[in-house]
């Protein structure tokens, strides 16, 4: 929402908006000229030409109700984004994992290479300091969110799918097949002269390929694809690999972010930027300057040999990839995970329980549940800890609150420790508090 608001401001529109609390992004919007209200009241929509809302906002919200009474068009966030993306050369990044990092990486490389893209991204790009910009170029780079089906609003020129997993099934009637059908529809909505850029190593992605009518470009490491990564060297907060096309080396890619998962993100970025007409050498130079998006393996502090890292990982696959990337530091990994949503924890309970084998210590906090979500009987963090002890890490512990975690860790961290906070809720506050106390 903040990204769309920022782009509309930069395009010259008058923007007002409301949120339940003031935060860094709302303050940045106010500094750009937006009128920000804290709290929702009916009067705040008076005079608007369009009212845009997020999935989190219920139908009975007073501002939505008043807008409809006044005959003001009311658009979902994705519909507003579609108006921007579909009119130009849209680059829509979809997938269970890696959307924010890949779209941020594409935006940064395009920006550094002078193509002046418009970008609208869910996370702040660390090297630019913002999550959105109205550029003068033809490309619009954005995340395409499958969680609520909103990615079906888009008709991009380049549609990227990083991977597909059984997540957000509560929005698909618990049916993974319906989710996969949605991906097929998304990719078949690519413009006639456009292309699907997809990860060929992902089995669920491969299963969809026969159903696609568009041009397809594949990338991978372990499966024969149009573009391949070879000679991969994983290091402490860095990766080096060789990119090949049709078996022929294009050159070396050096990344300033860790992990095999970022090799995939970088490959998608390189392909998109090549399709946009940027020479490989320029891409390889620019991509080195990408240091991640906010809450994506974000280093919060490094003092006295103790490293504090925060990550948005909220799915078992993401947790495993993030812990594996952290292991490359050579430090003792203390993984602190805050589950998000009872529904996700219910559907993925067994997979979560098997995701922590590479950590040296595991701490699980209470489930972070959005307002209005009903608790599911038998689904709890203490139950998850029991299963983690059985399936992946016998040393797992349950500490209910963020304050409990801070109190537990503050007095005993020592040189060689790495605290890794993970989750889509507010567990990042633990990392920030620990980093603050260290410094």
Catalytic residues: 99-100, 143
φ, ψ dihedrals at 283, nearest 5° = -60, -45
**Which residue shows structure tokens 């059985």?**
390
CA distance 384 to 323: 18
CA distance 122 to 101: 9
CA distance 175 to 305: 46
Q: Exposure of 62 by Cβ count < 10 A (0-12 exposed, 13-18 middle, 19+ buried)?
A: middle
CA distance 361 to 420: 10
SS3 348: coil
Measured between its terminal Cα atoms, the distance across the chain in Å is: 33
CA distance 8 to 12: 7
Helix (H) or strand (E) holding 391: helix 381-391
CB 141 within 8 A of CB 118: yes
Query: What is the side-by-side strand order in the sheet with 195-199?
Result: 130-133, 118-125, 139-143, 89-94, 158-161, 195-199, 215-220, 227-235, 238-245, 248-255
CB 262 within 8 A of CB 270: no
Token pair for residue 291?
Answer: 């240091």
Kindly give the pairing relationship between strand 215-220 and strand 238-245: unpaired
Q: Which of 71, 50, 44, 72 is nearest to 5 (CA)?
A: 50
Token pair for residue 214?
Answer: 């568009």
SS3 418: strand
Q: Which of 25, 286, 284, 49 is nearest to 130 (CA)?
A: 25
């Amino acid at each position: 929402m903040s990204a769309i608001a920022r782009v509309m401001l930069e395009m010259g529109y008058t923007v007002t908006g409301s949120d339940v609390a003031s935060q860094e992004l709302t303050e940045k919007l106010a500094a750009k000229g937006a009128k920000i209200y804290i709290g929702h009241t009916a009067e705040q929509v008076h005079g608007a030409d369009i009212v845009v809302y997020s999935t989190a906002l219920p139908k009975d919200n007073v501002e939505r109700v008043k807008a409809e009474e006044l005959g003001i068009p009311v658009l979902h966030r994705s519909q507003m984004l579609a108006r921007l993306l579909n009119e130009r050369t849209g680059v829509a990044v979809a997938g269970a994992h890696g959307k924010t990092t890949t779209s941020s990486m594409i935006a940064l490389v395009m920006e550094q290479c002078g193509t002046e893209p418009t970008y609208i991204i869910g996370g702040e790009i660390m090297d630019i300091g913002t999550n959105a910009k109205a550029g003068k170029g033809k490309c619009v780079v954005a995340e395409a969110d499958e969680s609520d089906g909103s990615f079906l609003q888009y008709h991009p020129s380049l549609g990227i799918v990083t991977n597909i997993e059984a997540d957000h099934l509560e929005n698909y009637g618990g049916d993974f097949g319906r989710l996969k059908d949605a991906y097929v529809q998304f990719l078949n909505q690519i413009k006639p002269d456009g292309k699907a850029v997809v990860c060929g190593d992902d089995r669920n992605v491969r299963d969809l390929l026969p159903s696609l009518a568009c041009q397809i470009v594949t990338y991978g490491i372990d499966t024969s694809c149009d573009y391949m990564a070879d000679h991969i060297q994983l290091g402490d907060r860095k990766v080096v690999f060789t990119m090949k096309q049709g078996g022929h080396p294009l050159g070396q890619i050096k990344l300033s972010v860790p992990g095999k998962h970022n090799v995939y993100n970088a490959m998608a970025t390189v392909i998109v930027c090549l399709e946009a007409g940027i020479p490989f050498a320029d891409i390889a130079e620019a991509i080195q300057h990408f240091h991640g998006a906010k809450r994506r393996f974000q280093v919060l502090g490094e003092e006295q040999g103790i490293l504090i890292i925060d990550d948005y990982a909220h799915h078992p696959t993401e947790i495993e990839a993030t812990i594996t990337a952290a292991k490359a530091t050579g430090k003792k990994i203390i993984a602190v995970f805050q589950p998000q949503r009872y529904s996700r924890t219910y559907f993925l309970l067994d997979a979560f329980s098997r995701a922590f084998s590479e950590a040296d210590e595991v701490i699980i906090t209470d489930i972070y549940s959005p307002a209005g979500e009903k608790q599911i009987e038998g689904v709890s963090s203490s139950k998850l800890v029991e299963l983690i002890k059985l399936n992946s890490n016998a040393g797992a512990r349950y500490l209910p609150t963020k304050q409990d975690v801070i109190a537990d860790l503050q007095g005993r961290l020592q040189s060689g420790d790495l605290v890794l906070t993970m989750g889509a809720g507010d567990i990042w506050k633990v990392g920030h508090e620990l980093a603050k106390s260290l410094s």
